[in-house]
Amino acid sequence: DIQMTQSPASLSASLGETVTIECLASEDIYSNLAWYQQKPGKSPQLLIYYANSLNDGVPSRFSGSGSGTQYSLKINSLQSEDVSIYFCQQNYDSPWTFGGGTKLELK
């Protein structure tokens, strides 16, 4: 199975700040990586697919990058509504696997 290691596990940032979340795959996943946002009490929502493609309706302050085994999610100009848990997930090889999640809070 492909292991996905996400960091940090938690993050505290101020409004307007830029934050970055990292995801490391145990092998090359050839950009087959998605990012999800889960707001408190809600279902996960797809933010980014294929490492850097923004899903419909997702604000442009979100961006994804990376290749090979290393990927990142960047949030520019942090807003209060961005308080969430963020997950990465590989869809290169089954079983599809998730990172452990990053809990983003406001400072």
Partner 1 sequence: EVQLVESGGGLVQPGASLKLSCVASGFTFSDYWMSWVRQTPGKTMEWIGDIKYDGSYTNYAPSLKNRFTISRDNAKSTLYLQMSNVRSEDTATYYCTRDRSTVATWGYWGQGVMVTVSS
Among 11, 20, 22, 45, binds partner 1 (CB under 8 A): 45
Looking at beta carbons only, is 63 or 92 nearer to partner 1? 92
Q: Which of 2, 31, 37, 49 binds partner 1 (CB under 8 A)?
A: 49
N-to-C CA span, the chain: 36
Tokens found for residue 25: 């795959």
94 near partner 1, rule: CB under 8 A: yes
Q: State the CB neighbour count (10 A cutoff) for residue 26.
A: 13
Which residues, numbered 61-90, are part of the site for partner 1 (CB under 8 A)?
85, 87, 89
Rounded to a whole number of angstroms, the minimum distance from the CB of residue 23 to partner 1 is 13
Q: Please, what is the minimum distance in Å from the beta carbon of residue 73 to partner 1? A: 15
Count of residues of this chain found to bind partner 1 when the rule CB under 8 A is applied: 21
Q: Which runs of E-coded beta strand occur in the chain?
A: 4-7, 10-13, 19-25, 33-38, 45-49, 53-54, 62-67, 70-75, 84-90, 97-98, 102-106
